[in-house]
Structures are given as structure tokens and as C-alpha cells.
Copies of this chain bind each other. A is one copy, B any other.
Amino acid sequence: MISEDHVTLKTGVMMLKIQLRITEINYSLTDIHKITVEDYEQAAKTLLTALFIREKYSRLAYHCFPRTTAKFLRSANNEKWSEEEEVLPEICPVPSEGPYSMEDLPQNLNYSLRMKDGIIYVYDNEDALKQDQPRSLPYPDLETFAIDMSHVLAMIADGPTKTYCHRRLNFLMSKFHLHEMLNEMAELKELKSVPHRDFYNVRKVDTHIHAAACMNQKHLLKFIKDTYKTEADRVVLEKGGKKFTLKQVFDNLKMDPYDLTVDSLDVHAGRQTFHRFDKFNSKYNPVGASELREIYIKSDNYINGEYFARLIKEVAHDLEESKYQHAEPRLSIYGRATEEWDNLSKWFIKQKLHSPNMRWIIQVPRIYDIFRSKKIVPNFAKILENIFLPLFQATINPQKHKETHVFLKHVSVTGFDSVDDESKHSDHIFTYKSPKPEEWTMEENPPYTYYLFHMYANIMVLNNLRKERGLNTFQFRPHCGEAGSITHLVSAFLTADNISHGLNLKKSPVLQYLYYLTQVPIAMSPLSNNSLFLEYSKNPLREFLQKGLCVSLSTDDPLQFHYTKEALMEEYAIAAQLWKLSTCDVCEIARNSVLQSGLSHQEKKHFLGENYLQDGPEGNDIRRTNVAQIRMAYRHETLCNELSFLVDAVKSEAVAEKAS
């Protein structure tokens, strides 16, 4: 068994091993799970194929793929894994000249660009473009993608595979309970002996938070009152050609900000928002007035997004004060117009929004249908072009697109998110025969998978182009599995580095097991779910954690969900209280959040330990993470165990075939 080489055995783990051997060695796997050898081999083969598929898409896009799983995949092919082959995202640390420096920009490559089937192709020059000879970069192929999708889709409905995954997941659960019973006190002892490190000073990243809701309700209220006190006569809004001062805005709303309360602000989600994403969205309007949203939480308005920037900087300041908390806020690019990137970058740099405790994600709302019905765009390709063309241009010619380049590289955008109400049903089923983005001219919104594939495809090409230039690459981190069809989780399994929510993994044992085997990070927000889609007590976070899925905790929208000044701590506190999580549990979640985040390699080394990329306990520096080595060994050994079953099945089948 491979695991033996890697795991430093501790007494506790040893005890567990002995106990587990009683269960596992005396009976074969097929005995335990009451499935036939053929079914087991069939399930193993299908599952391995799915792992190979995810690995392929991850490598193409410079997404993370766990070493342990990669090693087993190599061994299934009788190959040897080597560190050199490993593909890692490129995330640049902030340069010493300061985050906003525009010195020494890379030269113009003079490449040409063209969008074809919704994907941007790169050409060495105009000639190559005319001859349609794109530069040798990997370009995704829709047909292959459709075949890969259908493979995974088929397997999540396959009986024997379902049975196998369901039983393995149950086993993982029971095994963790056993681990807890035997090793809980030993883990605690380890943690107690670590000097100077406890839950409060391990690094935590709020892996999923929207910038427009990153302040809590009390904070926004105070900010509104403060601006009114000092700048009532400032012109802040232009509407229908007329200009309005802050005072006039509030006069029109028939309201004195002095009297404003959290109640009248009315941005908090309540019982009314449960299963009503539409109502929830309108909570972004303070006092139900879209003017106030426009003034206070938009970056592109009459006051050049000054208030929004100030609010964000206050939040960043609190994070910096807390020292150990980081956040990855989402800013929107809609794909409505080509200037969006330019505007956002200029706003960001002008307002000096960089903070060492923040990394930025660009969220793209799935609202083609709205833009189309308002005739803002002629087809879906136009949206993709508005989103991605400026990125390619800034990559090819940073000197011409200084702000975008600096925004992307240094201050620093690390990924993309795809957002909207997943529970909206789509009639269209995405296949390789679906209309191409240029042909998607109907008013209907494309389905979730259509959005994901085309975002992934462009990010992938872009990442390869940027890697060539030594520039940072981007992670694709869509919202996925918050509601709606289970197929969303299949699309993300192929295309995403990591996802937000993942609640629907509850509904598919096969997908849940695949997300476990490939350690796809999941940023979960149980308080957000509690207000929107799923009661707290039914949230699967604890179960996922116990089984060993890579889960982190995030706030989603402090403005709508949280009560205290420290939203992320509130999230951790409630989870710890309600689920009686141990210190080791919460520190493991915090460690996952750093792993999952867009923090740079250097920062991760600093926060998790020099060797954080290594497997198991060797990759863990307990003095930094406060996660017990026993826990790390348990996780690693368990994952190796699960993977070895799959590889063994395929190998034994191969041997049997040879012999016959």
C-alpha cells in the first residue's frame, strides 16, 4: 500500500489502523459492500476515468490537482509521478515597487486575436489570422468536452457505481467517527503542545464574499449617516440628466438619515427570503431604494465609486488589524460593454484598493437574457468578447492597457466566479450541437453548463498565454450546487478549480465521492444557505468535513446575513458551537481555506509551512496551522486507501485479462 511510505505513524493512528484491519482485512471489499467483483471493477474503472478527465482539464487551465490523486493515477498507468510534471497556478506576489507601479511593463507582442465559437484564438500576427493558423496553445474542443461530460453524467446514474460510492462514503463517515473516538484526545494534546498558535491566530480566508455586501448592516448604516453628516451638499447622483446632492436624494426618499435604522435600512435577509432568491437580490437596495445602491455600492457612478471604495477600505482595514483574517471579495464584470475592465481597473487603482489581506475575484452574472431583451448585446458571443477580449489585449500589450494589466497582475485578481440563481430552470440542454455563442441570438438564457464551458475555455487559453509570458494565471471558482440541477456539479467537476456552496453534493453519492477523491475545494456558507436554501441543521458541511472533503467556511454576504462586527468569526463560531467542532476541526477548515484561496505560493508557505505542497503530515507545519499531525496522517492514509482500491481493481482486471 502506497500510504505506508508517506505516513508518519503515530500511536493513535496505529490504534486506528489495527482496529480498521479487523474490519477490512478479514473481509474483502466486495464482501463488505455486498457487490459483485464485476460491479466493483466496473465502478472502479468508471471512477478512475472521471479522475483522469478532471486531471486533464485541471492541467490545461493551470488549476490545482492533488498530488496524492495524481500519483495514484500515474501508478494506474504504470507510470511514475514526478514533481516536475506538476502544474501549478501562477500567482504573483506584490512587487517591491508597490502594488500600483506601472514601471517595466512587458513589451507588446503584437499578436492578433479573434473570437471563434465563443472562444478567443491567438495568432502570431495578422497573416496567421488570415490563414487561420492560431498560435500553438491548447484550445478546448467542444466535442471532446461534450463526450467527457456525458461520461460523468452517465456514471452518476449508473447503479453499481452509485452503490459503490454510497457505501464508500458511509464507510468514510464511520471511519472518521472511529478516528474521533480513538484519537480526539491525542489530537488535542498535540495542539496544546504547540506554542503560540491557536484557533485565533491561524490564518483564515473568507473564500467567498461579495464586495457589494462585504460590510455588515451596522457598518453600512453608520457609513451612510457619516457621509450625510459631512457631505450632504455634495452632488452624488445623476439621473435623467438631473444632478442630485445627497440631501436631495434623501429628501426625495422623504427620509432623514439621522433617523435611519437597521430596520428601515432593510438589507438583512429574513424569513421572507427563504427560497426567494429574487427577494434576496432586492435586499441589495438600502431602504429599498436603488439610488442608494447606486451611490454607495457601485464602482461606476457619478462619484466614481468613491463611497464604495471607502467602505471596502474600511473592511480591509479591519482585516489588516485582525492580522489573521483574509478575504476574497467578488467584483462584477457584466460583459455589457468593452470598457468595463478599463473602468474597473482605473477605479481600483485610483482608489488604491489593494490590501495585503484581500485577493480579488471577478464575478460574471449569468444575465445574458436581460441584456439581450434590452438589446444591449446581439448574441451571447458578444458578452464573452466583452469579458475576455480586454484580458487578452492587456496580456499581449500591457503598455497599452496599463491599468488592466496592473489590476490583473499586482493588486491582484486571482480568479473568476460565475454567479446567479441556480434554481432557475433552463429548457435547453447543452450538447455539441447547441448553437454556438455567435448563433445564440434568442432571448432565452443559455444553461449553466454553457456558461461554464465558455468561461472555462477562455480562461484556459488566457492562462496558457499568460503562463508563456510569465504572468499570473487565474482560477475558475464558480458558484455551484447551491440549488438547481445536479448537472451543474458535473460541469464544475470538469471546469472549476474550486466551487462555492456545493450543497447539492448531498444528492449524488457519485459526485460527492469524486469531489472527495479529487479534493475539489468547496467554500461553504451555511448561514447564507440558512437564509436562502437550506436550514442550518440540514447543512452538509459537518458531514463533508468528516468524510474528508476539502471544505472551507465563508460568509457570502455579511450585509445580509451576519449580526456581529466579525462576520467570518461569527461563521466559525456558529459552526463550532452547533456542530461541536473540535479545535482541530476548525483549524483544518481554516487550513483548507488558505489552500483553496488565491494567495500566492510564498504566502501559503508562510501560512501553512514550507512544504505545504507535500502530501500528508510532511506537508503540514503544525506550528503554523494548528492542525494535528495525527489528523493529517488520518486524512492522507484514508485518501490513499480509497484511491488504492480503485487502482487495484483496474490492475487486477488487467492481470486477469492477460492471464485469460
Partner of A566, one of B262, B537, B564: B564
Is B192 a contact of A266 with CB atoms below 8 Å? yes
Q: A576 an interface residue at 8 Å Cβ cutoff? A: yes
Residues of A563-593 contacting chain B, CB below 8 A:
563-566, 569-570, 572-574, 576-578, 580, 582-583
- A393 at interface, CB cutoff 8 A: no
Across-interface contacts of A574 in B (CB, < 8 A): 573-574, 577-578
Which residues of A in the span 236-268 have a Cβ within 8 Å of any Cβ on B? 256, 258-264, 266
Given contacts A270-B582, A536-B578, contact A200 B573 (CB under 8 A): no
Say yes or no: B570 contacts A195, CB within 8 Å: no
Contact yes or no, A261 B195, CB < 8 A: yes
A394 to B: closest C-beta gap in Å = 42
B263–A194 touching, CB < 8 Å: yes
Report yes or no: B566 in contact with A263, Cβ–Cβ below 8 A.
no
On whether the beta carbons of A577 and B271 are closer than 8 Å, the reply is no
B-contact 0/1 string along A157-182, CB 8 Å cutoff: 00000000000000000000000000
Whole-angstrom CA separation of A583 from B583 in the bound complex: 32
Interface assignment of A149: CB less than 8 Å from any CB of chain B: no
Specify which of B194, B256, B262, B577 is in contact with A261 (CB 8 Å cutoff).
B194
Of all chain B residues, the one with the shortest Cβ separation from A587 is B263
- Chain A interfacial residues counted at CB < 8 A: 47
Residue in B closest to A573 when the chains form the complex, CB atoms: B563
For residue A197, CB closer than 8 A to chain B, the reply is yes
Can you list, as one digit per residue, whether each of A284-323 has a CB less than 8 Å from chain B (1) or not (0)?
0000000000000000000000000000000000000000
CA distance A608 to B564 in the complex (A): 24
- Chain B's nearest CB lies how many Å from the CB of A556? 13
**CB of A263 to closest CB in B, whole Å:** 5
Residues A195 and B259 in contact, CB atoms below 8 Å apart: yes
Q: Does A404 make an interface contact (CB < 8 A)?
A: no
Q: B263 and A583: CB pair below 8 A?
A: yes
- A387 proximal to B (CB < 8 A): no
Nearest chain B CB to A293 CB, angstrom units: 18
* Chain B residues whose C-beta falls within 8 Å of the C-beta of A530 in the assembled complex: 577-578, 580
List chain B residues, Cβ under 8 A from A196.
258-261
How many angstroms from the CA of A196 to the CA of B537 in the assembled complex?
A: 35
Q: Is the CB of B263 within 8 A of A198?
A: yes
- Complex: how many Å from CA A517 to CA B256? 42
> What separation, in Å, do the CA atoms of A304 and B546 have in the docked complex?
48
Question: Closest residue to A265 on the B side, CB-wise?
Answer: B198
A569 CB to nearest B CB, Å: 5
Tell me, yes or no, whether A81 is within 8 Å of chain B by CB.
no
Determine the chain B residues whose CB is within 8 A of the CB of A562 once the complex forms: 573
Are the C-beta atoms of B263 and A192 separated by less than 8 Å? yes
List of B residues within 8 angstroms of A473 by Cβ = none
Residues of B within 8 A of A572 (CB): 563
Residues of B within 8 A of A195 (CB): 256, 258-259, 261
Please tell me if A188 contacts chain B, counting CB pairs below 8 Å: yes
In the bound complex, CA of A565 to CA of B566 (Å): 9
Measured CA separation A259–B201 after assembly (Å): 12
A191: B residues at CB distance < 8 A: 263
B564 close to A576 (CB less than 8 A): no
A227: min CB distance to chain B, Å: 17
13 A-B pairs whose Cβ atoms sit less than 8 Å apart in the complex: A188-B263, A191-B263, A192-B261, A195-B256, A196-B258, A197-B261, A263-B583, A271-B580, A274-B580, A530-B577, A530-B580, A562-B573, A564-B570
A188-B263, A195-B256 known; 20 other A-B pairs, CB under 8 Å? Answer: A184-B271, A191-B263, A192-B266, A193-B264, A194-B263, A195-B258, A196-B258, A199-B263, A200-B262, A263-B626, A270-B582, A274-B580, A527-B577, A530-B578, A536-B578, A537-B537, A537-B578, A562-B573, A565-B566, A570-B573
